[in-house]
Amino acid sequence: MLMNSTDLMNSLPQRSCSVCGAVLEEMADCYESTCISCKGVTFYPIYPAAEKTIGDEQRRHV
């Protein structure tokens, strides 16, 4: 009997860095095997942090 694809994906072990063993975040089209710390890459998030949002007063002047 075939296994349900969701059950198969949930049964797989978490991906981990091949150098330090840290758990890697799952991404749709990413097949990296080394974490950004071991590569020496600086990660810049796409979205700004919550405390850096523009307030109502500043929004009126933009």
Q: What are phi and psi of 23, to 5 degrees?
A: -70, 130
Per-residue pLDDT of the chain (62 residues; tens, 9 = 90+): 788 988 988 898 888 999 999 998 887 777 788 888 898 888 777 776 665 555 555 555 54
Residue 39, SS3 per DSSP: helix
Domain ranges (residues) in the chain: 5-61
pLDDT of residue 54: 56
The answer to whether the CB of 32 falls within 8 A of the CB of 16 is: no
Give, as one character, the DSSP assignment of residue 28: T
Residue 26, C-beta contacts closer than 8 angstroms, at least 6 positions apart: 15
Q: Hunting for tokens 């840290």 — which residue is that?
A: 22
pTM: 0.50
